[in-house]
Amino acid sequence: MKLLLIEDSQRLRTTLATALTRLGHAVDAAEDGEEGETLASMSSYDVIVLDLMLPGQDGITLLKKWRQAGKDTPVLLLTALDGIEDRVRGLSQGADDYLVKPFALEELAARLEVLTRRRHGMADSRSQIGPLEIDFAAKTVKRGAEDILLTAREFALLEILARRPGQVFSREQLEARLYNEETSPLSNAVDAAVYALRKKLCPEGEPALIQTRRGLGYVLQV
Amino acid sequence: MSSIRRQLTATLCLAAAILLPAGGLAVYWTAENLLTDQFDTTLTAKAQALITAAEIDDDEFEIDFDVQAFAGFGQQSSEDYYQVRFANGESLQRSPSLQLSDLPAQPAALLSRGPHFADITLPDGRPGRAMWQTFVPADDDKKAYGTLTLAAASESVSLNHTLGILAGVLLVTGGVGLVATLLLLRLTLRHGLRPLDALATRVQDLRPDKPDQRIETSHLPGELQTVADKINDLLSRVQASLARERRFSSHAAHEMRTPLAELKAMTELMVQWPEESTPERWKETLTIVDEMEALLGKLSLLSRADSGGQSVIHEPVDLQQTVDACVERFQPAAEARGIHIEPSVHPGGQAFKTDPVLLQTVLNNLLGNAVSHAPTGARIHVEAAPGYLSVTNPAPELAQEDVGFLFDRFWRKNTGRQNGEHSGLGLSIVAACSSLMGARCEASLSPAKALKLEVKWS
């Protein structure tokens, strides 16, 4: 999924961005409220991870702005303030979840997954799509009894398509969701990733699950 | 435990128990004197009438019978008595009411001209009051009778009866009054002290977890309003102190949580993806640990300063050497930012005594703060003299209203956290150390946005 991380601690920002990228997410990072606001206005994100205490424009102000403007991207607050009133304040302003520092990367990843699932109206992290059994939390895919091993990027691509089966995604849309703002993928990177994923998902002789719609993009057809 | 109500009740009851009988006695004594005086005046008038009417006629002593009758001595059944005696005590004449009895002779102690009065027992056994008066009868040309003594008496049963009634009335009203007063006192005290009880209950109901509670003072009497105002004032100060403590704890937790989060995230990253375990990342984790250690040191210093656990040793200090050492320490950081430090030391004529460690801590924090926050290329002035220290630097981002927060713990102009270098404790450490040295730290911002931090020893 595509994430926006707004965190003023340079070390934490870099570390989280690295870890989340390793987990297959496309992460854009901002060091203050202004930069975060700019990035959020330029791209569409699946989840925004927002620190409360930011230099200049603080997290709550930013969150209020977004909610008042009708922006419904799930926001996970990430902060060192652990008081009940701080949590309530954040949640009442429109935050979808709250994580107190220090936290485990695993917990952050799980909460991000829950937020995404909730956005897509899924009660369970596991989903049966055609012959595929996908666990979005465990990031595993099975075809029948056979485990399919995917790279983080491949799983991210599958997740985008599998969250909305039957919906056509253009190459640009996939690129925007797979790569962050600072990465300039090769022009055929998406095509190459789709090709590799398609091969792993379908044994030879079986109809391809990911189909190409000429001039439109790709779709997971079940 | 002493009780105001009990003390007041005891004191007022004692006062009532003393004052009410004393008042009754005073009334009785005054009434007795007035009635006795009135009795004596009447008796004197009667005696004077007899003396005036007494004469020697044909060598015989006589008192006009009409006068005797007028004065009330004429009848046998009269309540009034008189007896005239010679100087030797021999009876010369007596009233018919005495028949053959005698009135008591004039007491020896009263052997003077008189008149003299005394309570006596009448010959019939009833109580009476008598007066004695010496006189020389008229027309005693031959001096045959000489000076005579008239004893006049009247029964005092009615007087005693009146006084008895008065005493009875006073005793009964006094007793009833005393009991009523005690009951009234108790009721009045209970009613009067009810607002105090209400105030005590209100104070007792104040919950430690609700420091914003105050006591409603509008319905309290004036005397208790002052007490309630003082309690409210104390509550406000406690609330402010609690808020400060809470802010401090919250900030301390925040300051510790962020580096902990950094450390945890970095470690997890390196454990989960070993290829991320680079020497640079390990060095960074070490830096985080160092910063946390420094933060703990600062918190510990503040804690010691607050609790009085920080030792203070006053000894002569070399100001020049102290300032030079500090400037040398921050010179590289200042040069990196193009900042110029201008020290100016006035050693003075006499040795300056203070705690060298605390002085160094103060100077390090002041200069470190200035080097970190002054704009690139700025000039920092350090001035030191016995009993005085100041650091001045441009602070274009600081507003006049920020000056009041400069010494607040964890206060930063910017709430965000770029890295662990600035915890917002530096100036609060300066204030705490200055206080320990017997000095005070003041901050001022000039209209040209020059921030001057001064430490002045008293």
Tell me what ipTM this predicted complex has.
Answer: 0.74
CB spacing of A80 vs B272 below 8 angstroms? no
Q: What are phi and psi of B281, to 5 degrees?
A: -70, -40
CB spacing of B415 vs A54 below 8 angstroms? yes
Q: Is A61 exposed, middle or buried (0-12, 13-18, 19+ CB in 10 A)?
A: middle
Q: Is B197 exposed, middle or buried (0-12, 13-18, 19+ CB in 10 A)?
A: exposed
A25 Cβ neighbours under 8 A, 6+ residues apart? A1, A2, A3, A112, A156
Query: Residue B67's pLDDT band (boundaries 50, 70, 90)?
Result: confident
The number of helices, as runs of H, and strands, as runs of E, in chain A is: 8, 11
CB B46 within 8 A of CB B133: no
Separation in Å, CA A7 to CA A17, B185, B230: 10, 72, 46
Tell me the pLDDT of chain B averaged across its residues. Answer: 86
In chain A, which among 150-189 make CB contacts under 8 A with chain B? none
Lowest mean pLDDT among A146-150, B35-39, B141-145, B319-323: B141-145
- Checking if the pLDDT of B1 tops 70, the result is no
- Checking if the pLDDT of B419 tops 60, the result is no
pLDDT, residue B221, reads: 85
CB spacing of A101 vs B261 below 8 angstroms? yes
Tell which of A7, A12, A78 to mutate to test the B interface (max B CBs under 10 Å).
A12
CB spacing of B250 vs A54 below 8 angstroms? no
Lowest mean pLDDT among A139-143, A176-180, B354-358, B451-455: A176-180
A109 in B contact zone (CB under 8 Å): no
Candidates B260, B262, B416; nearest CB to A55: B416
pLDDT, residue B26, reads: 93
CB spacing of A58 vs B415 below 8 angstroms? yes
Q: Chain B residues with CB inside 8 Å of A8's CB?
A: 416-418
Q: Is B451 exposed, middle or buried (0-12, 13-18, 19+ CB in 10 A)?
A: buried
CB A76 within 8 A of CB A49: yes
Tell which of B249, B269, B284, B291 to mutate to test the A interface (max A CBs under 10 Å).
B269
Residue of A nearest to B261 (CA): A102
Strands B91-94 and B80-85: antiparallel
A102 in B contact zone (CB under 8 Å): yes
Beta-ladder partners of B349: none
Residues B91, B340: Cα–Cα separation, whole Å? 133
CB spacing of A80 vs B253 below 8 angstroms? yes
Residues B439, B454: Cα–Cα separation, whole Å? 10
pLDDT, residue B415, reads: 61
Separation in Å, CA B333 to CA B383, B426, B450: 20, 17, 20
Residues A211, A201: Cα–Cα separation, whole Å? 12
Tell which of B254, B278, B283, B284 to mutate to test the A interface (max A CBs under 10 Å).
B254
Q: Which structure tokens are listed for B29? A: 């004594």
Q: Which structure tokens are listed for B134? A: 């010496």
pLDDT > 90: percent of chain B: 32
pLDDT digits (tens, 9 = 90+) for B335-346: 999 999 999 998
CB B92 within 8 A of CB B101: no
Mean pLDDT per 10-residue segment, chain A (222 residues): 91 94 90 92 91 85 92 90 79 90 92 86 79 87 88 88 87 83 71 88 82 88 77
How many A-B residue pairs are in contact by the CB < 8 A criterion? 82
Q: Chain A residues with CB inside 8 Å of B414's CB?
A: 55-56
Residue of A nearest to B268 (CA): A105
SS3 A42: helix
- Checking if the pLDDT of B246 tops 80, the result is no
B205 Cβ neighbours under 8 A, 6+ residues apart? none
Q: Chain B residues with CB inside 8 Å of A56's CB?
A: 414, 416
Q: Which structure tokens are listed for B161? A: 């009866």
